Amino acid sequence: MTATILSPDGLEDALRRIGAERYHDRHPFHHALHEGRLDRDQVRAWALNRYYYQSRIPAKDSTLLARLPTVALRREWRSRIEDHDGADDGSADGTGGIARWLKLCDGLGLARDYVVSGRGILPATRFAVDAYVRFVGEKPLLEAIASSLTEMFAPAIIGQRMEGMLRHYPFVSEDTLAYFRPRLRQAPRDVAFALGFVRDHARTAEQQEAVQDALRFKCDVLWAQLDALHHAYVAPGHVPPGAFRPGADGSLAVTPHAPGPGAVEPVGSA
Ligand X SMILES: O=C(O)c1cc(C(=O)O)c2c(n1)C(=O)C(=O)c1cc(C(=O)O)[nH]c1-2
Is the Cα dihedral 138, 139, 141, 146 positive or negative?
A: negative
Q: Which of 49, 150, 176, 225 binds ligand X (CB under 6 A)?
A: 150
Q: Could you give the CA distance from residue 205 to residue 140 in angstroms, rounded to a whole number?
A: 15
177 closest CA partner among 106, 111, 104? 104
Under the binding rule (CB under 6 A), the answer on residue 34 touching ligand X is no
Under the binding rule (CB under 6 A), the answer on residue 148 touching ligand X is yes
Q: Which of 51, 151, 229, 251 binds ligand X (CB under 6 A)?
A: 151
Compose the 99-118 pattern: x for residues touching ligand X by CB under 6 A, - for all others.
--------------------
CB of 92 to ligand X, least distance (A): 22
Nearer Cβ to ligand X, position 79 or 255? 79
Nearer Cβ to ligand X, position 202 or 222? 222
36 closest CA partner among 182, 210, 177, 160? 160
210 closest CA partner among 2, 9, 14, 77? 14
Under the binding rule (CB under 6 A), the answer on residue 251 touching ligand X is no
Under the binding rule (CB under 6 A), the answer on residue 57 touching ligand X is yes
Nearer Cβ to ligand X, position 11 or 158? 158
Under the binding rule (CB under 6 A), the answer on residue 64 touching ligand X is no
Under the binding rule (CB under 6 A), the answer on residue 176 touching ligand X is no
Nearer Cβ to ligand X, position 134 or 257? 134
Contact window for ligand X (CB under 6 A) among 7-15, 137-145, 148-156, 226-234: 148-156
Q: Could you give the CA distance from residue 172 to residue 59 in angstroms, rounded to a whole number?
A: 29
Q: Which of residues 213-232 bind ligand X (CB under 6 A)?
A: 222
Q: Could you give the CA distance from residue 199 to residue 18 in angstroms, rounded to a whole number?
A: 16
Under the binding rule (CB under 6 A), the answer on residue 43 touching ligand X is no
What amino acid is encoded at 95 in this protein? T
Q: Could you give the CA distance from residue 112 to residue 94 in angstroms, rounded to a whole number?
A: 15
Which DSSP letter does residue 1 get? -
Nearer Cβ to ligand X, position 110 or 252? 110
Which DSSP letter does residue 3 get? P
Under the binding rule (CB under 6 A), the answer on residue 183 touching ligand X is yes
CB of 132 to ligand X, least distance (A): 7
Q: Could you give the CA distance from residue 154 to residue 169 in angstroms, rounded to a whole number?
A: 21
51 closest CA partner among 115, 111, 100, 108? 115
Provide the CA 195 distance to its chain's centre, in angstroms.
Answer: 19
Number of residues that bind ligand X (CB under 6 A): 10
CB of 100 to ligand X, least distance (A): 10
Q: Which residues bind ligand X (CB under 6 A)?
A: 57, 97, 148, 150-151, 154, 157-158, 183, 222
